[in-house]
A and B are shown apart, each in its own frame.
Chain A
């Protein structure tokens, strides 16, 4: 507890966390300070004779974590990656925020939103730019700044709905309730951009008044705020004798011309537009109009009613049409019984040759069409007689070709329904010979109630129709087919030349196993082989140190390897802090908060090397360029 006072609520109950380095007010939960390491400022004299401050910044992610080797190495790697992500995010947020002219408080809040998003893994699968833009827009909405999602979309050249989707996801996952947009927020900004000069305030006030009227008339619900602002500003500018064209307003407000015209037309329909300028500034109408979309819906209903009235008038004309239809149907019905009679006579007298010919002779005298049909059937009948088949079978198959006739002759005399069923089965067997049992089981499962097979048959084309359709499809997709041919030709050519490489699926990177080593030197060797920590470190010098330190024997073999290496490292660290020279003393002082006080043991050459690696790792977390020259000089001295 300190005597500090909270800025937000004025409370004095402040909790200090030394491990995390922050001060939090327990009353309202605001973070007063998040970089507490030491409260003193020390200065040392450098080689040039001047004074420099002692100390360095410790990363938020690195605070509270003691650097260790061995099993815990990858935790540091993960932390480093997270720190880099946050650093990149902060840089992008400042870059975008400066373009939007946001203040520092908004930028810090946006960075906090970004940190929350990163901790919840909301950045996975999305572009970093989209997440950052969504965080900035979230701040604009919560702080009430006059920025639109379209502004961010314009800066990033990204689809506004893509940004909107990311924004909605962030708002939902972070449980942040962004308040609804008020179109009045944008009026001062747009008015300033339209350059009204000394009368800027008056025009803004008039535009605000117009906008209030529009809101009361339900024009703003479900509409983008910029369109309403454009219409209000255009009318207000004309009221104050400013000649602002529609194009100028459109370029500032970033809406289409038809949108602006539509808003003006909707405003014209309200009773406010009937007032004069003086009346508008004095009188406040109490009425509220319906939403414009509702009015449009009502108009559509009225059009439908008019259509109904017209349809009633058309009923008289339909009466005449139905009369003609009945007459046509009667004539059609009169022609059908004759054909039925002919077919009945044919089926009854099928057994005898002489009896069959006499009904044909009688029918010939009555109708020409019937005569033509009879002669056609007579020819087929005579052809079947040559085949020595039954008369009734031949008559029924008169329409078929030679192949079905052969099949029917092979099968012999059968009922009509059975014959058709067997024909279907034979066709299916020809198309897929091994599908008989599956076909029967499939037919069993499919419920055919209410399904008309004749209607479905009309969906299936015959061979000539299929050929025509294929030609049409080839013509429409000629470009696609040409591209496919070129692609295949290119692949074949590359295969001949031996250049072609098949696209192998990318292997997922395997996770590295934790380093298992009996000595510190061996562990450091493996770590350096797997990955280099930094490109700014001279590794050849480290290898020389490693070769010298490798000769020392292990102190205690009975303990587990990981525990042994950790314990030895901690001992060497403590020893090094006490026995190092004057330049090392300042380094030791900087690292003192991270090292716990315990008795130390003798230092060796290998121990010095291990401590040096530890210091370099600790230095990297701070990412300070100033500390690297000191490190390099230290390596050179060694």
Chain B
């Protein structure tokens, strides 16, 4: 009991999703032919480009929008995005690096105890939903931080910060969902996106409730 109050929790960021625009049309066929680290997905009209350092996978659309996934920090995501832009410049495109934004952060945090999911769900009813037939974790939503937490019985908590498309995007300008997300990002430049501080605050908020439903060690 006494030691629990002094436990230091490690929050490990495992994925950062960011987007930016090149403000010029990209010839996907040219990128596919001249790039050594690209995969051309003709069916969906996109090119996947992979960087080794930092380890990033980028989805390149012909409209000039690029989605980077796989970074483990925001600085790494920015650095990888700039290297991608430089690669496209080397291929001959007039790249203008604009509208860089982090749209999603995925973090993992391990509690030193096990959690009783049914009891936790009953105590935090409006925000927590637990459906063992669908998913083994409790889905807990924090509206103010725009964070979604997946709480497992072993004490592992996965925090995801993402934009709420249904509330922020009244009409979709593109047929693809990712393009819709990008439109929302572009139109909401004043709002703050997900970041590491929001993830840490989410974990701080959830700790007292999780602590109440922990497994008692006899």
Contacts and interface: CB of A to CB of B under 8 A. Distances in A.
Nearest to A141: B131
A446 B82 contact: yes
A457 B90 contact: yes
B42 to A, nearest CB: 6
Contacts of A470: 33
Contacts of B79: 450
B131 A164 contact: yes
The 7 closest A-B pairs by CB, nearest first: A222-B136, A221-B153, A164-B134, A294-B154, A180-B118, A438-B94, A466-B33
A469 interface: yes
A477 interface: yes
A458 B125 contact: no
B117 A222 contact: yes
Contacts of B153: 218, 221-222, 291, 293-294
Interface in B44-93: 79, 82-83, 85-87, 89-92
A2 interface: no
Contacts of A168: 129, 131, 134
A582 interface: no
Given A180-B132, A222-B137, 8 more contacts: A180-B118, A222-B132, A441-B96, A446-B96, A456-B83, A458-B36, A459-B90, A466-B33
A431 interface: yes
A102 interface: no
7 contacts: A164-B131, A220-B132, A291-B154, A432-B94, A458-B36, A459-B90, A469-B33
Contacts of A72: none
* Interface size bracket, B side: 35 or more
Contacts, number: 129
Interface of B: 24, 32-37, 40, 42-43, 79, 82-83, 85-87, 89-92, 94-98, 114, 116-118, 121-122, 125, 129-134, 136-137, 152-155, 215, 218
A345 B15 CA distance: 54
Interface string A338-364: 000000000000000000000000000
B134 A473 contact: no
Nearest to A293: B154
B96 A445 contact: yes
A473 B32 contact: yes
A124 B34 CA distance: 46
Given A447-B82, A465-B36, A149 B215 contact: no
Interface string A148-191: 11100000000011001000100110000100110000000000
A445 B215 contact: no
Contacts of B94: 432, 435, 438-439, 442
A636 interface: no
Nearest to A183: B132
B35 A459 contact: yes
The secondary structure that dominates the B interface is loop
Contacts of B118: 180, 221
Interface centre among A149, A171, A460 (most CB of B within 10 A): A460
A469 B30 CA distance: 12
Contacts of B96: 438, 441-442, 445-446
A149 B35 CA distance: 48
A224 interface: yes
A159 to B, nearest CB: 11
A590 interface: no
Given A293-B154, A294-B114, A446 B86 contact: yes
Given A461-B33, A465-B36, A149 B114 contact: no
Contacts of A297: 154
B89 A180 contact: no
Contact of B87 (A293, A428, A456): A456
Given A180-B122, A222-B153, A225-B132, A460 B114 contact: no
Given A168-B129, A221-B118, A480 B42 contact: yes
Interface string A277-307: 0000000001110110110010000000000
A286 B34 CA distance: 67
A460 to B, nearest CB: 6
Contact of B121 (A150, A180, A220): A180
Nearest to A163: B134
Interface string A563-606: 00000000000000000000000000000000000000000000
A216 B24 CA distance: 61
Nearest to A150: B133
Contacts of A451: 82-83, 86
Nearest to A435: B94
Interface in A214-248: 218, 220-225
A460 B98 contact: no
Given A290-B114, A293-B153, A432 B92 contact: yes
Contacts of A220: 132
Given A222-B132, A225-B133, A448-B82, A460 B34 contact: yes
A309 to B, nearest CB: 24
B64 to A, nearest CB: 12
Given A180-B130, A458-B36, A480-B43, A446 B89 contact: yes
